[in-house]
Structure 1
Amino acid sequence: MKIIQSVHTQWRENGERATKPLMLFSPYLTGNLAKQILGPTLKGMVFTQFDAELFASRASDLDVIKGLMDEGHQLFHVPDLHAKVVIEQGVFATIGSQNITAKGTRNKELSVLVQGEKHLREVHRKVESWLMNATPITLEMISGMADLLPPLKSAYDGFKASCNDAQSKVDKAAEEAIQRAKHAEEEAIRQSKQVEEEKIRQVQAVKRHAKALLNAEIKAAIASVPLSEDWHCGAIKYRQSSIKTSLFISSGSLLNWKVNEKMIQLVPLSRYLCVLDTGRVGWARVAGTRISMIGREIIFHGRVISEQPGWIFQIHATENDHGEWPPGANLFISVSRIFGGRLFWLPVRFNLSTYIFFSPIVSCEGDLVEEESVCKAAIAWIKRNKASFERQVIKAILEPFKYDDKLKGIDATSFFGPLNSHHVLQITLIDGNPILVGKAGRWP
């Protein structure tokens, strides 16, 4: 068995090689295909429907039937025939969807080629009952039908035109409905997008306002705290033989300061909290005449929270715009288990003189977090030990420290400002800890 598309090519080839008369079953006959299949030599048998409606609608062609009779082929009317079958007895049979018509050669059709004695006998048995009900088509039948067809064709043409007009209206209405639905969907999407954009704008406006307030608070705090009598102006420049930048001072030392008549000496290459009047916060690596790297994500392993030595404590001072962060927070405390996932985030508002701890946030998108019950238990512990926890967090923020990785952090251009910009540095003391305070410009 073989499945064939456009089986008319196979019909023509088999018809040319046929040694026995062919039997054609097709409810519709148009064009020259039947004549090409049957050929001029062997006289075949054609089974079709001799039906006035089919001739009036031009689904079948009365002239084709007469032409085949004139060639000597036998034609038969089979009521209710719808099968499309071509048989050379004992050689092959095709069964499929393709009519023996001109249009059938252009349509998307599938047919099955049947060969082999067993399968062909089965096909013959199936069509035998059709043959018993077949009525020979005569010239008189053709002549009588030809006389009756003109008014039927005219009526059918009018009916078809009305049907086409009705279908056109239905199709147009359906297309208009589709377009209306499409436009309605697009409008709904547009409005939804506008609502979301407005929400984002409002959130961003709130965050900008909160950031402006925080920056104003930090400037006011810088102006109110006792600053060192001495100050240094530094410039952002490339390090020697490097594409990385540092803040360099031209004279003096960043390690020696005087606050309230008290000499303060910084530990070389240690990290000190640095607060700019722009509101930016980081931990600067201080050398004698330069600041080379500024950490903005600081990780502390163990004993930061004395009661919880198994926790990893991390401070982020980046301008994080995550939707879950409360407006005005500028430090984000991440607490995780040493051998596990994150427990919670704790946003903090730090303006140099005061601290505001917001409610813990259990998860953020992309985090590897502990099970919910573990996180909730950790947060419950924080609430019970709020004062001790916050005191130890503040201590970690303020105290100087050294990194094992001395070059960890961002360049000076990413923290202070662009290449060749100038910045004034002073220090203040908070809880006895030296804090670097900076602002853009050449003078304090």
Structure 2
Amino acid sequence: MSYVKNANLTWDKVKDSDLVLILSPYITGPLAQQILEQNQSGQIYTRFELELFASGASDLRAIKRLVEAGHEVLHLPDLHAKVIIARGQIATVGSQNLTRKGLKNLELSHVTRDLQQVDDVRQKVKPWLFQASRVSLEMIEAMSDLLPDLQDLYSRFSEACKPAQHMVNGHLVGKNKLVEKTRTEIVNAIKSAPLALDVTIATVTYLPRSRKYTLKVDSKPFTSWSFNGRDLFTLTRFYRYLCVLDTGRIGWARVVAQRISIIGTRLGFDAGLIQGQAEWEVSIESDGNLPEGCPGEANLLAHVSMGGTELFWVPLKFTLTDCHAFAAKRPLNDSGTGVLGRQARSWFINNKDRFVQCVLKGITEPFQYKANLTGLRAENFFGPERTTYEIRLARVGGHPVLFASSPNL
């Protein structure tokens, strides 16, 4: 028994089974077909629903290829489980669909090769299968005729939702007076810091080739700046740099010469960040989803753990040049309420200034993730397509900070 983040690596090894059952509500790409081609026979249970094809959650072309290849595809209403069973070999149960997104999302699947457990899983899902109905090529053709107009409607609906969702995500903060005070302090810290003479205009742009959005410049790169008109200050490609919007939103932008596509809103530091507590692991969140009870001025959240056990969490007010830590809180799951947690919180109370300085250093220094592509996509941080910013580079506390402001700010 084990757990894996990417069950595809396990599915690739499923071969020569006399029967493979696939339960996946959504199917895109060739993954299902690749699994079935390595085995004697198989059945695919999915949801054959117009809304899912119109939204892109499932791909009608992938379903058609499976049927044309001779595989049995069945519509199972209300299916939500993601299960693959290779009789006599293996079973996986988890969150991962047989889709391209399933290879990239944060997924977790339980894998077992215990034959009794494999059979137990099959027995659990067996009653569901009697509700399924076969999907034919005629049904696929009928669905295909209806799809184009609905895809266009869904696309327009999705675009209309983006500005509202962006507001919810914190792009237009300011209703709360304390939050607005923190935002103002951040913007003032930027404006009073040394600023590069260069200003570059960047726009959230859709790239058809990669089917992704990016914050893109057409001329001046993100990586070269000048503070005196002569010497260049260079940012390292693929490193993360602190990035601040004029709304006060904070992230860590992965910089490439002409674009920024990935912005982290969570930082994770292995043991060693906090002086005097070498075994502590610290993670910082800036996505705005602070728990109830946090002070209104707080804009970051620090979680402190050791050996996988959370010791405490603490709201932070970060204004670029300063960082204030509020009172430490017991962990939300209450796992650090024993002696270890009490000792940790006591140390924090007596060494708050040291803790803050170590965290401030971690927040502001550029760094490179081992996994470069973690974080929010550009449209989820900067805003929907065609959102435009003026980008400048500031030096705050000796560290470079990218500042993105609306052109009329």
- Identity across matched positions, percent: 33
Residue 346 of structure 1 deviates from its aligned partner by 1.4
Q: What letter corresponds to residue 290 of structure 1 in structure 2?
A: R
Distance 1:241 1:369 in 2: 46
- 1:238 alignment partner, SS class: strand
Distance 2:250 2:397 in 1: 18
Q: Which of 235, 240, 243 is residue 266 of structure 1 equivalent to?
A: 235
Deviations for 1:325-377, whole angstroms, at most 9, x for unmatched residues? 1111001111111x23111111111122322211111122xx36224321110
Answering whether residue 254 of structure 2 is matched by residue 285 of structure 1, we say: yes
Deviates more, 1:422-431 or 1:302-311: 302-311
Q: What letter corresponds to residue 379 of structure 2 in structure 1?
A: T
Note if contact 1:206-1:327 (Cα within 8 Å) is conserved in structure 2: no
Answering whether residue 211 of structure 2 is matched by residue 243 of structure 1, we say: yes
Distance 1:407 1:259 in 2: 30
Deviations for 1:153-208, whole angstroms, at most 9, x for unmatched residues? xxxxxxxxxxxxxxxxxxxxxxxxxxxxxxxxxxxxxxxxxxxxxxxxxxxx9981
Corresponding residue number in structure 2 for 1:369: 335
Task: Compute the TM-score of the two structures, normalised by the length of structure 1.
Answer: 0.50
Residue 304 of structure 1 deviates from its aligned partner by 1.1
Corresponding residue number in structure 2 for 1:275: 244
- 1:279 alignment partner, SS class: coil
Answering whether residue 406 of structure 2 is matched by residue 440 of structure 1, we say: yes
The number of aligned residues is 236
Note if contact 2:218-2:258 (Cα within 8 Å) is conserved in structure 1: yes
**Unaligned runs of at least 5 residues, structure 1:** 1-204
Task: Compute the TM-score of the two structures, normalised by the length of structure 2.
Answer: 0.55
Deviations for 1:212-255, whole angstroms, at most 9, x for unmatched residues? 22222223223222211001111101234233211000002111
Note if contact 1:341-1:368 (Cα within 8 Å) is conserved in structure 2: no
> 5 Å matches for 1:34-53?
none
Corresponding residue number in structure 1 for 2:372: 406
Answering whether residue 349 of structure 2 is matched by residue 383 of structure 1, we say: yes
Note if contact 1:207-1:327 (Cα within 8 Å) is conserved in structure 2: no
Corresponding residue number in structure 1 for 2:39: none
Distance 1:274 1:236 in 2: 15
- 1:251 alignment partner, SS class: coil
Q: Which structure has the larger Rg?
A: 1
Change (3 A) 1:379 1:270: same
Answering whether residue 223 of structure 2 is matched by residue 230 of structure 1, we say: no
- 1:218 alignment partner, SS class: helix
Residue 434 of structure 1 deviates from its aligned partner by 0.6
Distance 1:241 1:327 in 2: 42
- 1:396 alignment partner, SS class: helix
Corresponding residue number in structure 2 for 1:357: 325
Q: What letter corresponds to residue 219 of structure 1 in structure 2?
A: V
Distance 1:361 1:210 in 2: 21
- 2:220 alignment partner, SS class: coil
Corresponding residue number in structure 2 for 1:330: 299
Q: What letter corresponds to residue 359 of structure 2 in structure 1?
A: V
Distance 1:325 1:260 in 2: 42
- Higher fraction of helix: 1
Distance 2:344 2:293 in 1: 19
- 1:217 alignment partner, SS class: helix
**Unaligned runs of at least 5 residues, structure 2:** 1-172
Where relative contact order (Cα < 8 A, 6+ residues apart) is larger, the structure is 2
Distance 1:398 1:329 in 2: 17
Q: What letter corresponds to residue 243 of structure 1 in structure 2?
A: R
Q: What letter corresponds to residue 363 of structure 1 in structure 2?
A: P
> 5 Å matches for 1:192-211?
208-211=176-179
- 1:214 alignment partner, SS class: helix
Residue 302 of structure 1 deviates from its aligned partner by 1.6
Deviates more, 1:295-304 or 1:211-220: 211-220
Note if contact 1:427-1:436 (Cα within 8 Å) is conserved in structure 2: yes
Corresponding residue number in structure 2 for 1:31: none
Q: What letter corresponds to residue 378 of structure 1 in structure 2?
A: A
Corresponding residue number in structure 1 for 2:381: 415
- 1:362 alignment partner, SS class: coil
- 1:394 alignment partner, SS class: helix
Q: What letter corresponds to residue 192 of structure 2 in structure 1?
A: S
Corresponding residue number in structure 2 for 1:395: 361
Distance 2:399 2:190 in 1: 15
Distance 2:205 2:174 in 1: 36
